[in-house]
C-alpha cells in the first residue's frame, strides 16, 4: 500500500512539473528564463535552503553584511531558475553558434587531436549542464557522473533531456554509485574522458579543507588519474550578462607520485575557491556543503 502511494505521489509530481514547464516553454527562451528565475527567487526565499545558502555564504564571506549576503544568494536562486529552463531546452540551446566563448582551447588541443583521455572538473556554477554536451561537440568522448533524482519519473525525464543534447553515441551520463564506477573505468580503457563536478559534499569522502573548513570530499578520481596517468583539466564555467557562457580550459594538472591525493585535492579546492569568489552569484549555495 505504502509503495503504491509513493508511486502515485511521484507520478503526480512528475505530471505537475512537466505541465508547468511545457506551459512555460511556450514562451520565448529569454522571457521564460526571466519568469522562472523570479519564481525560483520567490519560492526559494521561503524555504530552509535559503537559510542554508546564507550560512554557506557567511563562511566564504564573513565580512559581508546581511544585505550583501542576501544579494548574492538571491542572484544564485535566479541563476538556478535559468539553469533549469536551459536544461529543458539544452539541445536547442546549442543551436546558437555564439552560445559559448571558448578560452584556453590550446590546453586541450593535444587531447583532441590524439584522442587522449582526461579528467575534466568543474563546479555547480553558471549552467553546469552545458559542460558535457560541449566536450562531446569538441570531439572528446566523455562520461559524466550525476546524482540520481529520488523521483524516478523526473530522473528519467531529466536524463532524456541531458542525453538528447549529445551528438555522439560514445559520450554518456551515469548515475553515481557502483554502476558509475564500472562504466567510467570501462570508458577510460576505451580512451574516453571523464567530467566531474567536485564541489558537493560526499559522505563517504575524505575531510579536505574548503574555505578553511574541513568538509567531506570525494577524491577517488585522483586515484584513477594517477593509475592511468590522466591529465586533470580545470574547466571554469561563467555565465555572461547576455546569458551566453564563457568556458575556460586551464592548464592540465598531473597527480603524479610526488604528492598525495589529499594534497592534490587541496590544490583543486584552492582553484575552485577562486572561481566561486570571482562570480559568487553564480554558485549553487543552497547545497549544505559545510555541514
Alpha-carbon distance of 208 to 254, in angstroms, equals 19
Note the pLDDT of residue 23. Answer: 87
Q: DSSP H helical segments within 89-130, as ranges? A: 90-93, 109-114
- CB-CB contact of 101 with 130 (8 Å): no
Dihedral angle computed from the Cα positions of residues 9, 86, 169 and 225, in that order, rounded to the nearest 10 degrees? -90
Evaluate whether 84 touches 40 at the Cβ level (below 8 Å).
Answer: yes
**pLDDT value of position 21:** 81
Amino acid 9: pLDDT = 83
How far is the C-alpha of 55 from the C-alpha of 226, rounded, in Å?
36
Helix-then-strand count for the chain, H and E: 11, 9
Output DSSP code: residue 64: -
Q: Cα–Cα distance between 25 and 154 in angstroms, integer?
A: 17
Report whether 96 contacts 165 (CB < 8 A). no
Which residues are bridge partners to 103 per DSSP?
A: 248
pLDDT of residue 258: 63
- The radius of gyration computed from the CA coordinates of the chain, to the nearest angstrom, equals 19
Tell me how far apart the alpha carbons of residues 123 and 6 are, in angstroms, rounded to a whole number: 32
Closest CA to 153 of 4, 23, 18: 18
For residue 18, how many other CB atoms are within 10 A of its CB?
A: 14
pTM for the predicted model, two decimal places = 0.94
Quote the distance between the C-alpha of residue 201 and its chain's center.
13
| Backbone dihedral angles phi then psi of residue 65, each to the nearest 5 degrees | -85, 175
pLDDT per position in the chain (291 positions), as tens? Answer: 566 677 788 888 888 888 888 888 888 999 999 999 999 999 999 999 999 999 999 999 999 999 999 999 999 999 999 999 999 999 999 999 899 999 999 999 999 999 999 999 999 999 999 999 999 999 999 999 998 888 898 899 999 999 999 999 999 999 988 888 899 999 999 999 999 999 988 888 899 999 999 999 999 999 999 999 999 999 999 999 999 999 999 999 998 766 789 999 999 999 999 999 999 999 999 999 997
CA distances from 116 to 20, 25, 168, 252 (A): 43, 39, 17, 12
The Cα-based distances of 67 to 38, 40, 45, 57, 169 in angstroms read 18, 19, 14, 12, 47
Identify each DSSP E strand in the chain by its residue range: 100-103, 119-122, 142-146, 172-175, 193-197, 206-210, 213-217, 232-239, 245-249
Amino acid at each position: 500500500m505504502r509503495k503504491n502511494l509513493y508511486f502515485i505521489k511521484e507520478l503526480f509530481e512528475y505530471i505537475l512539473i512537466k505541465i508547468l514547464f511545457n506551459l512555460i516553454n511556450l514562451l520565448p527562451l529569454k522571457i521564460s528564463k526571466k519568469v522562472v528565475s523570479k519564481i525560483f527567487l520567490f519560492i526559494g526565499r521561503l524555504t530552509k535552503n535559503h537559510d542554508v545558502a546564507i550560512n554557506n555564504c557567511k563562511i566564504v564571506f564573513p565580512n559581508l553584511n546581511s544585505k550583501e549576503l542576501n544579494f548574492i544568494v538571491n542572484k544564485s536562486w535566479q541563476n538556478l531558475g535559468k539553469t533549469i529552463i536551459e536544461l529543458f531546452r539544452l539541445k536547442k540551446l546549442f543551436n546558437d553558434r555564439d552560445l559559448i566563448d571558448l578560452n584556453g582551447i590550446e590546453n586541450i588541443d593535444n587531447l583532441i587531436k590524439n584522442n587522449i583521455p582526461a579528467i575534466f572538473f568543474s563546479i555547480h556554477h553558471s549552467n553546469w549542464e552545458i559542460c558535457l554536451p560541449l566536450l562531446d561537440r569538441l570531439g572528446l568522448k566523455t562520461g559524466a557522473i550525476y546524482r540520481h533524482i529520488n523521483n524516478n519519473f523526473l530522473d528519467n525525464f531529466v536524463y532524456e533531456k541531458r542525453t538528447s543534447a549529445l551528438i555522439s553515441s560514445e559520450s554518456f551520463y551515469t548515475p553515481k554509485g557502483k554502476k558509475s564506477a564500472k562504466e567510467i573505468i570501462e570508458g577510460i580503457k576505451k580512451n574516453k574522458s571523464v567530467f566531474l563536478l567536485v564541489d558537493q559534499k560526499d559522505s563517504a569522502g575524505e575531510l579536505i579543507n574548503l574555505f578553511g573548513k574541513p568538509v567531506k570530499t570525494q577524491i577517488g578520481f585522483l586515484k584513477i588519474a594517477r593509475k592511468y596517468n590522466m591529465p586533470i583539466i580545470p574547466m571554469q564555467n561563467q555565465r555572461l550578462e547576455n546569458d551566453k557562457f564563457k568556458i575556460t580550459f586551464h592548464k592540465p594538472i598531473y597527480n603524479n607520485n610526488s604528492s598525495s591525493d589529499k594534497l592534490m585535492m587541496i590544490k583543486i579546492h584552492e582553484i575552485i575557491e577562486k572561481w566561486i569568489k570571482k562570480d559568487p552569484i553564480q554558485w549553487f549555495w543552497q547545497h549544505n556543503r559545510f555541514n
